Structure 1
Amino acid sequence: MRGPGRLRRTGGVFAAVLGIAAGALSAVAAPPAAALTPPVGFTADHLSTYQTNGIVWSLAEANGVVYAGGTFSTVRPAGSPTGSNTTPAVNFAAFDAATGAPTGCSLSFTRSSGTATVRALAVSPDRSTLYAGGYFNAVNGTAANGLVAMDTATCRLRPGFSPDFGATVRALDVAGNGTVYAGGDFRSVNGQTRNFFGAVTPTGALTGWNPDADDPGRTLKVTPDGANVLIGGDFFTLGGSASHALAVTSASTGALTRAYTGNFIPSSAVVKDIVTDTASDGWYVAGEGAGGASFDGRLAMGLDDFDQRWRDTCQGATQALRVHRGVLYAGSHVHDCSSMGGFPNQVRKHLTAQSVDDPALLGWLPDTNDGIGEPVGPRALTVASRGGRDFLWVGGEFTTVNGVAQQALTRFADTPDTGAPAAPVVSASAPRAGEVRVGWRSSLDLDDSLLTYRVYRDGGSAPVHTTTGSSLFFSRPQLTFTDRNVVAGRTYTYRITASDGTNTSGLSATASVTAASSASPYQEKVLADGADLYWRYDESGGAFAADASDSGNGGVYANAPSYRATPSAVAGSAALSLNGTDEYVYSDRLHHYTSPTPYSVETWFRTTSTAGGRIVGFGNNIGTARGHTSSVSDKLVYLTSNGRLAFGVQTGSSSARPTVTTTDTYNDGDWHHVVATQGPSGMVLYVDGAAAGTNPATGNRSYNGYWRVGGDAMSNAWPNLPASTYFAGQVDETAVYPSALTAAQVAAHHGLADTPAGPGDSTLTLTPSEDAYVNGVAPNTNYNDGQLASRGTTAYQSYLRFALPEAPAGQVLKGARFAFRTSSDPTAGSAESHSIVPVTGAWTESAVTYNTRPTLAASALGTITGASRASTDHSVDLDASALEGALGSLFPLALTSSGTDSLRIWSSEATAAYRPQLVLTFGAE
Structure 2
Amino acid sequence: MTWSTVRRSVAPLVLALLLLGLAAPPASADSAPAGGATAATPVTVSADPLPTVQINGVAWSQVVVGTTVYVAGKFTRARPAGAAAGTQETVRNNLLAYDIRTGQLITSFAPDLNAQALVVTASPDGSRLYVGGDFTVANGQSRLRVAAYDTATGALVTGFAPAVYGQVRALAATASTVYAGGSVSSVGSVGRNRLAALDAATGALLPWAPQPGVGSTAGNRDGSTVTSNAVLALVVTGGGSQVVAAGRFDSLNGTKATGVGALDPVTGATRSFAVNRLITNQGVNSAVWSLSTDGTTVWGSGYDYYGPGNLEGAFAARADGGGVVWVDDCHGDTYSTFAQGGALYVATHAHDCGNIGGYPEQNPRVNQFGLAFSQAPVGTVGTATLRNRNFTGQPAPALQTWFPTFASGTVTGQYQAGWNVTGNAQYVVYGGEFPRVNGTAQQGLVRFAVPSAAPNRVGPAAQPTPTASQPLGGAARVSWQATSDQDNGTLVYRVHRDGSSTPAYQVSVASTWWNRPTTSWTDTGLADGQHTYRVSATDPFGNTVTSAPVTITTTGGTTVPPPPTTTALAQDSFTRTSTAGWGSADTGGAWTVGSTATTSVDGSRGVLALPAAGRSASASLAAVQATDVTVQASFATSSAATGGGTYGYLAARQSGNTAYRVSARFTTTGAVEVALVRQVAGVETVLGRTTLTGATSGVVVRLDASGTGTTSLQVTAWPRGGTAPAAPQLTATDTQAELQRAGAVGVAAYLSGSATAGTQVLVDDLWAGPVGTRPAAG
| Counterpart for residue 364 of structure 1 | 402
Alignment equivalent of 1:383, drawn from 409, 418, 423: 423
Alignment equivalent of 1:109, drawn from 110, 113, 138: 113
2:111, 2:766 → 1: CA distance? 72
2:129, 2:321 → 1: CA distance? 31
| Counterpart for residue 134 of structure 1 | 133
Alignment of 1:784-803 (within 5 A): none
2:574, 2:552 → 1: CA distance? 22
Alignment of 1:13-92 (within 5 A): 15-18=25-28, 24=38, 39-92=42-95
Aligned residues: 576
How far off its partner does 1:418 sit?
Answer: 2.0
1:433, 1:549 → 2: CA distance? 28
| Counterpart for residue 418 of structure 1 | 457
Check if 1:462 corresponds to 2:502.
Answer: yes
Scaled by the length of structure 2, what TM-score is found? 0.66
Indicate the larger mover: 449-458 or 511-520.
511-520
1:9, 1:201 → 2: CA distance? 47
- 2:118, 2:132 within 8 Å by CA — same for their partners in 1? yes
Root-mean-square deviation (CA), in Å?
Answer: 4.2
Alignment equivalent of 1:352, drawn from 363, 371, 392: 371
Kindly provide the amino acid, as one letter, of the partner of residue 409 in structure 2. G
| Counterpart for residue 775 of structure 1 | none
Alignment of 1:878-889 (within 5 A): none
Kindly provide the amino acid, as one letter, of the partner of residue 63 in structure 1. G
Deviations 1:492-544 (A, max 9, x none): 3222222223222121222333446435469669999x76699xxxxxxxxxx
Kindly provide the amino acid, as one letter, of the partner of residue 369 in structure 1. A
1:136, 1:75 → 2: CA distance? 19
| Counterpart for residue 289 of structure 2 | 272
* CA separation of 1:65 and 1:835: change in aligned 2, threshold 3 A: closer
* CA separation of 1:591 and 1:289: change in aligned 2, threshold 3 A: closer
Alignment equivalent of 1:289, drawn from 277, 291, 304: 304
* CA separation of 1:60 and 1:830: change in aligned 2, threshold 3 A: same
Deviations 1:105-132 (A, max 9, x none): 111111xxxxx21001001111111111
Deviations 1:890-923 (A, max 9, x none): xxxxxxxxxxxxxxxxxxxxxxxxxxxxxxxxxx
| Counterpart for residue 209 of structure 1 | 208
Check if 1:551 corresponds to 2:568.
Answer: no
Kindly provide the amino acid, as one letter, of the partner of residue 28 in structure 2. L
Kindly provide the amino acid, as one letter, of the partner of residue 512 in structure 1. T
**SS of alignment partner, residue 544 of structure 2:** coil
Alignment of 1:673-684 (within 5 A): none
Deviations 1:719-758 (A, max 9, x none): xxxxxxxxxxxxxxxxxxx99xxxxxxxxxxxxxxxxxxx
- 2:572, 2:767 within 8 Å by CA — same for their partners in 1? no
How far off its partner does 1:38 sit?
Answer: 5.9
1:166, 1:58 → 2: CA distance? 20
**SS of alignment partner, residue 316 of structure 1:** coil
- 1:6, 1:309 within 8 Å by CA — same for their partners in 2? no
| Counterpart for residue 352 of structure 2 | 336
Deviations 1:257-291 (A, max 9, x none): 1145544334463112111125xx42211111236
Kindly provide the amino acid, as one letter, of the partner of residue 198 in structure 1. A
1:403, 1:380 → 2: CA distance? 20
Check if 1:95 corresponds to 2:87.
Answer: no
Check if 1:403 corresponds to 2:439.
Answer: yes
Alignment equivalent of 1:182, drawn from 177, 180, 190: 180
2:402, 2:164 → 1: CA distance? 40
**SS of alignment partner, residue 339 of structure 1:** helix
Kindly provide the amino acid, as one letter, of the partner of residue 119 in structure 1. L
Alignment of 1:122-271 (within 5 A): 122-175=121-174, 177-202=175-200, 203-214=202-213, 215-260=229-274, 261-267=276-282, 269-271=286-288
1:513, 1:548 → 2: CA distance? 30
- 2:176, 2:199 within 8 Å by CA — same for their partners in 1? yes
| Counterpart for residue 552 of structure 2 | 513
1:7, 1:210 → 2: CA distance? 42
* CA separation of 1:833 and 1:127: change in aligned 2, threshold 3 A: same
Q: Quick one: higher RCO (CA 8 Å, sep 6+), 1 or 2?
A: 2
- 2:466, 2:479 within 8 Å by CA — same for their partners in 1? yes
2:243, 2:476 → 1: CA distance? 64
Deviations 1:426-478 (A, max 9, x none): 33333334543333323322121122222211110111222222222233333
How far off its partner does 1:216 sit?
Answer: 0.7
* CA separation of 1:479 and 1:593: change in aligned 2, threshold 3 A: farther
Kindly provide the amino acid, as one letter, of the partner of residue 333 in structure 1. H
Check if 1:309 corresponds to 2:320.
Answer: no
| Counterpart for residue 840 of structure 1 | none
**SS of alignment partner, residue 412 of structure 1:** strand
* CA separation of 1:225 and 1:5: change in aligned 2, threshold 3 A: farther
Kindly provide the amino acid, as one letter, of the partner of residue 315 in structure 2. L
Deviations 1:366-409 (A, max 9, x none): 12122122122111122147xxxx22211012111112222111
Alignment of 1:555-594 (within 5 A): none
Deviations 1:67-101 (A, max 9, x none): 11111111112222322222111111111222212
Check if 1:827 corresponds to 2:710.
Answer: no
* CA separation of 1:365 and 1:207: change in aligned 2, threshold 3 A: same
Unaligned runs of 5+ in 1: 26-36, 111-115, 535-546, 555-586, 601-676, 680-701, 707-737, 740-791, 795-820, 837-863, 878-925
Deviations 1:47-68 (A, max 9, x none): 1111111110011122311111
Deviations 1:187-245 (A, max 9, x none): 11232122111110121011222222131111111003321111110111212222111
How far off its partner does 1:251 sit?
Answer: 0.9
2:473, 2:309 → 1: CA distance? 55
* CA separation of 1:369 and 1:322: change in aligned 2, threshold 3 A: same
Unaligned runs of 5+ in 2: 1-11, 214-228, 378-396, 576-582, 608-616, 622-633, 636-691, 695-702, 707-712, 725-763
1:8, 1:242 → 2: CA distance? 32
2:263, 2:203 → 1: CA distance? 21
2:322, 2:561 → 1: CA distance? 63
- 2:495, 2:504 within 8 Å by CA — same for their partners in 1? yes
Alignment of 1:858-873 (within 5 A): 871-872=772-773
* CA separation of 1:171 and 1:7: change in aligned 2, threshold 3 A: farther
- 1:4, 1:304 within 8 Å by CA — same for their partners in 2? no
